[in-house]
Structure 1
Amino acid sequence: MTQAARPNPTPPARLSGLERLAYGFTAWAEKWFPDAFVFVVLTLLAVVAADLAMGAAPLAIANEFGAGFWSLIPFTMQMAMVVIAGYVVAASPPCARLIGRLALVPRNGAQAVAWVAFISMASSFFNWALSLVLGGLLTRALARRADLNLDYRAAGAAAYLGLGATWALGLSSSSAMLQANAASMPKAIADITGVIPLSQTIFLPQSMLMAAILLVCAVLISYFSAPRGDRVRTAADLGCDISADVQMAETQTRPGDWFEFSPVLPILIALLAAGFIFSEFSSKGPLNAISNLNTYNFIFLMIGLLLHRTIRSFLRAVTKAVPACAGVLIQFPFYGAIAGLLTHVNGASGHSISHYISNLFVSIATADTFPIVIGVYSAFLGFLVPSGGGKWIIEAPYVMQAAKDLHAHMGWAVEVYNAAEALPNLINPFWMLPLLGVLGLKAKDIVGFCFTQLLFSAPLVMLLLWGLARTL
């Protein structure tokens, strides 16, 4: 059965009130929401209009747009490599064998859904792209176990929880990594915050406690919300092909192919890389070394190369990973231009747009309520601008200025953004696309379960952001 011809997995009459709300929201979003790049362009035009209203000269705006367009090239490349490196590791043969072993752990369908949620969220602390691919492949492997009676939709939603709930509190957090790297920060942000080390963001005890609480709660919700009995819809019911992924055997056809198929070259490169990594960790310490995005990506890429064993296998995985970087590559230059326009001081008013926005936050928030105000704002904007790193570049100039003016903890301000920004990912189809491609599902198949997670996670996140801020 083809994907287009598959039957409706759950008759409308059998949907609960919560499921009806979630499916209705998804149907609306699929009908009315344009591509994420459209929101980038609309945001740019809105900022331009605001600059014009403040008396800025059109030519000055155009010059600022062009000057800021390429300001994020290093960070853009770093974020693209985060995606590629995570995918390469997850798609390696040893990882495939690990997935096979992990698929043997659960004893029933509900346990399997909770297990996928745990693996996805735990791996997202290391790399969000790794969590998507690993969670998707684990779901497919579990779906092949006839004894589980696994609901493929619920397991697919669980595989998405790494990106939809916890990734921004881990090592691939765009905002935390940006703040820890002076060379990657735009001047508009660096002038306000300076460098904020990871020890003050993702490795804060309060941040790690919040991440642990969110993980435990999401796993429990996944377990208790998993359909049972005749409400289960398996991959077969949905018409999804879950046959084992078989790599086409390749053979050497000419003498020059020896280099591509031999494990010697990857091993030699890995040994060279090990020397560099040892030097970095011994001279800077593990935390400072991993704070550098270049070192972080370097480690993941070298691990991926070693796991694939051959140049041919490694390059095949890289080729498959590149399309997932398209949004980063085309959107981040526009984010850089928007950041420049937001912080550009208009001659007529003597102030920038970010100055007025930061003053607005200062006027409506206190040091005590700052986490809630910024959390709600970031979560709302995150649905319209689904890019953790790009959106941070837009928000940081005025959010961090407000935090500075209110004497809030600067590192916790970053974590407020991280935790709140991840919430709309649960119902935004943009970031679901790579996972849906692996699973053969559509957004409407999993968003009902993701929406359930959002209803519980949103108030919990806001409570944690407010409560833990009081301990700093």
Structure 2
Amino acid sequence: MSPNVMETTADQESRGKTGVESQGRLAHMAFEFTRIAEKWFPDAFVFVVLTTLVVTAADLAIGASPLQIAKGFGAGFWTLIPFTMQMAMVAITGYVVATSPPCTRLITKLAAFPSTPAGAVAWVAFISMAASYLNWALSLVLGGLLVRALARRVDLKMDYRAAGAAAYMGLGSTWALGLSSSSAMLQANPLSLPKSISDISGVIPLSQTIFLWQSVVLYLSLMTLAVVVFYFAAPRGKHVRTAQDMGVDVSIEPEPAQKPKRPGEWLEFTPVLPILVVILSVGYFWEQFSSQGVLVTVSSLNNYNFAFLMLGLLLHRNIRSFLTAVTRAVPTSAGVLIQFPFYGAIAAMLTGVLGSDGISISHHISELFVSIATTNSFPIVIGIYSAILGFLIPSGGGKWIIEAPYVLQAAKDIHAHMGWAVQVYNAAEALPNLINPFWMLPLLGILKLQARDIVGFCFTQLIFSAPVVMLLLWVFAQTLAP
């Protein structure tokens, strides 16, 4: 964080709470949480190191040897490398596409809709959560770039922190209820479903998970709640901190027109090469749609990144402009590249390191919650468990593979609806994302912020979302037959 930002924070604190009450209680709450987070919330990298040490201590407590723990740490460290690259490409390709001339104009039009600062923050939350139904990565990129566009409006004076948190709502609240739900897609695809899970539940079609009317109502309820909360929680008056106050440059410098200066550079400026490559990619997607279907194709993060990469190449029209945008986008992925390997190690230490009784930490937790579940309490018990474990293992698809055997077996044993068990996992698993820096990193890279800048607003949203999620999971479970 720049010195200017620190000075602004100190100035605000020195002024005390005068005038906060005039914003309303919700805005007061968000302001207080944010003030505390700015002062006490560590950098995301410190957070992941501390989590590593806490899990190490827990492994020691269950009787694992130091050598076992060290082995688990090292063995798991690089297990998320494919996913790390995918997430880095989410930030890079999204930035490349959004800084192309056509997308810059589109996002500028979206940014023209709000007429008030609070309305702008609520608008960002709506766009982010609507996009998350199609793809969680799209919600991050689109939301982040929309915030930057709104911040360029000198007439708006929008709080950059609140808008940044609003851009995170798609991933922090509703993504797992949409088409990119890893667990729902896994359960619906017999070719990808592990035998350990299929033997318990069999294939569960999307009509019994994300397309249940109960699931759609839950999604719409959370979207409405987030928009309302962010509208009233957005700082007003002297408590607003714009992008300029935060020391963030959101301007877009147009590229000066360039022309080839020597014959060899002609290939860098011609649109012919990008068009030919894009045509080849169109053929690939046609084959994927024909063989796997649209839903399976669009749910693949590799396909999403591939499509955005090709789209960026096409929209920039030539290789020189495309490579310039890539060079500028790479710094947005720095946090992802250095921190995701640690999360791979944490996941391995939770699931692969066994205590003196031959059981891992994750199974100790699961046995505790599953043992106390009944047909009536199942949504609440499993929801709480998934949320807690989701904070330590922030990977929707990977964590489902770990949880599914005992969660689905428990649902089967107590005669709960199998598809709703998946949705209980999906809705609850997203809750810890609101305060977990793991998923914030690509967005923070785009916004040039740190986790402490937005987590106060995210925590405010969590306070309202968590009880609503748990209540609706329980209520809707009563409407579903096994």
For the structure 1 residues 391 and 44, does the alpha-carbon distance in structure 2 shift closer, same or farther, using more than 3 Å as the test?
Answer: farther
2:130 matched to 1:104? no
Moved more, 139-148 or 295-304: 295-304
Query: Which range is displaced more, 157-166 or 61-70?
Result: 61-70
**Quick one: distance in 2 between partners of 1:87 and 1:51?**
47
SS in 2 for 1:408: coil
Measured after TM superposition, the shift of residue 452 of structure 1 is: 2.4
> 5+ unaligned residues in a row in structure 2: which ranges?
22-27
Q: Offset of 1:305 from its aligned partner?
A: 3.3
- How does 1:96-175 map onto structure 2 within 5 Å? 96-175=104-183
Deviations 1:254-282 (A, max 9, x none): 44433333322222222222233233324
1:264 equivalent in alignment to 2:272: yes
Give the match for residue 295 of structure 2: 287
Question: Partners of 1:394 and 1:155 in 2: how far apart?
Answer: 34
Q: Secondary structure at the match of 2:352?
A: helix
Q: 2:379 aligns with which of 371, 379, 400?
A: 371
Offset, 1:445: 3.8
Q: Which residue of 1 aligns with 2:47?
A: 35
CA, structure 1 residues 126+90, in 2 after alignment: closer, same or farther (shift >3 Å)? Answer: farther
* TM superposition shift of 1:77: 5.8
- Which residue identity does 2:35 align to in structure 1? Y
Kindly, what percent of the aligned residue pairs are identical?
61
Deviation digits for residues 313-360 of structure 1, max 9, x if unmatched?
444555535535426752465367457627x8x9x9687776665443
Correspondence 1:332-343 to 2 at 5 A: 333-334=344-345, 337-338=348-349, 341=352
Q: In the alignment, residue 29 of structure 1 is paired with which amino acid?
A: F
The structural deviation recorded for 1:97 is 1.4
SS at match of 2:36: helix
8 Å contact from structure 1 (residues 140, 242) kept in 2: yes
- Which of residues 210, 218, 229 in structure 2 aligns to 1:221? 229
**What displacement does 1:192 show?**
5.4
> Residue in 2 aligned with 1:330?
341
Partner Cα distance (1:232, 1:70) in 2: 41
2:242 is equivalent to residue 234 of structure 1 = yes
264-273 vs 234-243, which moves further? 234-243
Say if 2:131 and 2:170, in contact at 8 Å, map to a contact too. Answer: yes
Amino acid at match of 2:17: A
Q: Partner residue of 1:7?
A: 8
Q: For the residues of structure 2 that align with 1:78 and 1:179, how far apart are their CA atoms? A: 22
Answer yes or no: is the 8 Å Cα contact 1:128–1:167 preserved in 2. Answer: yes
Q: Which residue is 2:474 aligned to?
A: 466
- Looking at structure 2, the residues matched to 166 and 471 of structure 1 have their Cα atoms a distance apart, in angstroms, of 21
Question: What secondary structure is seen at the aligned counterpart in 2 of 1:273?
Answer: helix
Two-structure CA RMSD over aligned residues (Å)? 4.1
Contact 1:83 1:324 in 2 (8 A): no
Cα separation, partners in 2 of 1:307 and 1:401, compared to 1, 3 Å: farther
Following superposition, the deviation at residue 210 of structure 1 comes to 1.6
2:32 to 17, 20, 24: 20
Offset of residue 365 of structure 1: 0.9
In 1, the alpha carbon distance for the partners of 2:44 and 2:93 equals 33
* CA gap 1:7/1:265 in 2 versus in 1, 3 angstroms: same
Q: Which moved more, 1:237-246 or 1:151-160?
A: 237-246
AA of the residue aligned to 2:155: D
TM-score calculated relative to the size of structure 2: 0.78
User: How far off its partner does 1:364 sit?
Assistant: 0.8
Kindly indicate whether the alpha-carbon contact (under 8 Å) linking 2:56 and 2:349 is maintained by their aligned counterparts in 1.
yes
Q: Distance in 2 between matches of 1:182 and 1:67?
A: 29
Q: SS of 1:227's equivalent?
A: coil
Shift of 1:285: 3.4
Report the counterpart of residue 460 of structure 2 in structure 1. 452
Corresponding residue SS for 2:134: coil
Partners of 1:123 and 1:35 in 2: CA distance:
28
**Superposed counterparts of 1:175-190, under 5 Å:** 175-179=183-187
Which consecutive residues of structure 1, in runs of 5 or more, have no partner in the other structure? none
> TM-score by structure 1 length?
0.80
CA gap of 1:119–1:193, structure 2 versus 1, over 3 A, is: same
